[in-house]
Copies of this chain bind each other. A is one copy, B any other.
Amino acid sequence: MTNWINQDWLKILQEKGFRITKPLRIITDILASSNHILNPTQVYLEAREEYPKIGLVTVYRTMEKLEEAGLIERVHMPDGCQSFFQAAAGHQHLLICTKCSKAEYFEGDNLGTLFNRTGQSFGYEITNHWLQLFGLCQDCQLKHTNNPT
């Protein structure tokens, strides 16, 4: 089940001196292979199916390490700020399904120019930005349409 992305992650983690334990392997695999934004509890529930004795605390700590290692990044969601998603290569923006949390990165061309111009006009020195689009992904649109009546 461990996919190639996860292999990379494990290698990186090992190089950073982390020990590759079973909980780490499972948590990493979930996060590396999911195209959904997940919070610690969601990862915990999923991890427990494969390894019932895993603790929520371990999930918190492991996700913290993965963030530290730059493999996942925190994403603020309408209902919480403790969710994470695979880090983007370079800074990109997110398109997120409000129903299932499926997410995609996209590039906005030239936004940097607008951002800097805006910062200048208000006298701010821009250091960072968040751009997230929310909507329904294709699957969730269909589910919605096929509502049992």
| Chain A interface (Cβ < 8 Å from any Cβ of B) | 76, 80-81, 95, 97-98, 104, 106, 108, 114-115, 118-119, 121-138, 141
Contact = CB atoms under 8 A, between A and B. Distances in A.
Given A122-B137, A129-B134, 13 more contacts: A76-B130, A95-B118, A95-B119, A95-B126, A104-B124, A106-B121, A115-B133, A118-B133, A119-B135, A124-B133, A127-B136, A128-B134, A128-B135
Contacts of A119: 95, 133, 135
Given A115-B133, A134-B127, A95 B81 contact: no
Could you tell me the dominant secondary structure of chain A's interface residues? strand
A126 B137 contact: no
25 contacts: A76-B130, A80-B81, A95-B126, A98-B127, A98-B128, A106-B118, A108-B114, A108-B118, A118-B133, A119-B133, A124-B133, A124-B137, A125-B136, A125-B141, A126-B135, A127-B135, A127-B136, A128-B133, A128-B134, A129-B131, A129-B132, A129-B134, A130-B132, A131-B131, A131-B132
